[in-house]
Amino acid sequence: MSFESDNTASVHPSILAAIVRAGEVRSASYGSDPWTRQLMPRFSELFEAEVAVHPVLTGTAANALALSELTPSWGAVLCHSGAHVLTDECGSAGYLGGGLTLVPLEGEHGKITATAVEKWLSTRRSGDPHQAPASTVSISQPTERGTVYTLEEIAALGAVCNAHEILLHMDGARFANALASVGCTPAEMTWKRGVDMLSFGATKNGAFAAEAVIDFRVICGNDLLYRRIRAGQLLSKMRLVSAQLLAYVSEGLWLKLAARANEAAVQISAVLAGLPHTHIIHPVQANAVFVEMPRDTAERLYAAGFKFFHRMSPTGNLYRLVTSHDTTAQELGKFLRTLIRTDAGGARQQFN
């Protein structure tokens, strides 16, 4: 049983079925197929606005293409120091974006604040070409720390961006988890708060490989079509991705799956919070739990067959537990029982 990452989950049966249906017939190539043609109306309906939808294969591609579209090659993208685009995409945004600059900002719980952006901007020499000008702010929703920006926080960032003519990008690799957590509409979390472009992820929540760049102001016209093929992201059988995306948002599947994953994380955090020797580091608002616990406790969980990441933090042993759409009640129950027993044991040992 793995809590390593939602990347190791299975593909949801409805999405597998959609893949099969799309694959067993002939269809027009390069996005002229009926599935891809449906994306724009379907997502425009979903987001209550006319949006452009550019399906791609990976979250890295979605982020790098979105940022390269929003930012000139000489521009700077402000993001959290722990943002996925900065720490886990091997510089893809710089590569596909012609050498654009990612600027790390610090912030609690994986979030950057409007104030931090304002403060950074105030240190810049305006119009001096020695400094890469701030072109874009990129936030992750949920963040890499399992927290979720409130609508007010997003609106504040949107307002700062607007005041400084900076564009706002949202990395929504787990967008559904954020929506399920906040309980608002997709529109309320994005363009209504000033988000210009969204990396919309489905892969971590039940799809096989399906992401999309959602362009709320149709800012980029057809430019992204050119960028996309040049990154090798234009499938001849584009319906492979589009069919997944359509199935994913059909009948609320995406939100149901995300709610399930979120709920499992809440249950884990509830148990952890009641244990004497653990310390939850970040508010648990999506499907990830960051917890400090005794090394010994973790070792016993590992020995019981559970998998999850460990790393040293300044204050001790930090562990990350990620739940997923296919985490079952039985698995969760077994983990929680083991955890309670183990912590008790760990505690005993610690004080013996």
- Is 9 a residue that touches its own copies (CB under 8 A)? yes
> Which of positions 312-341 make contact with its own copies (CB under 8 A)?
326
- Is 29 a residue that touches its own copies (CB under 8 A)? yes
- Is 5 a residue that touches its own copies (CB under 8 A)? yes
CB 154 within 8 A of CB 186: no
> Which of positions 132-171 make contact with its own copies (CB under 8 A)?
132-133
- Binding-residue pattern over the window 258 to 297 for its own copies, x denoting contact by CB under 8 A: ----------------------------------------
- Is 26 a residue that touches its own copies (CB under 8 A)? yes
Sequential DSSP letters for 99-167: S-EEEEE--GGG---HHHHHHHHHTS-TT-TTSPPEEEEEEESS-TTS----HHHHHHHHHHHHHTT-E
**What is the amino acid identity at position 219?**
I
As given in the structure block, the two tokens for residue 133 are 């000008």
Minimum CB distance to its own copies smaller for 182 or for 246: 246
Size of the site for its own copies (CB under 8 A): 76
Residue 316, Ramachandran bin (φ over 0: left; ψ between -120 and 50: alpha; else beta): left
Alpha helices, DSSP H, located in the chain: 13-23, 34-46, 59-70, 84-87, 92-96, 114-122, 151-163, 175-182, 186-189, 223-230, 239-248, 253-273, 295-303, 329-351
Alpha-carbon span 171 to 194, nearest angstrom? 14
Please identify, among the stretches 110-118, 126-134, 147-155, 187-195, the one whose residues bind its own copies according to the rule CB under 8 A: 126-134
Minimum CB distance to its own copies smaller for 158 or for 201: 201
- To its own copies, the closest distance from the beta carbon of 236 in angstroms equals 4
- Which of 55, 97, 194, 346 binds its own copies (CB under 8 A)? It is 97
- Is 7 a residue that touches its own copies (CB under 8 A)? yes
> Which of positions 190-249 make contact with its own copies (CB under 8 A)?
203-204, 208-209, 222-223, 225-237, 240
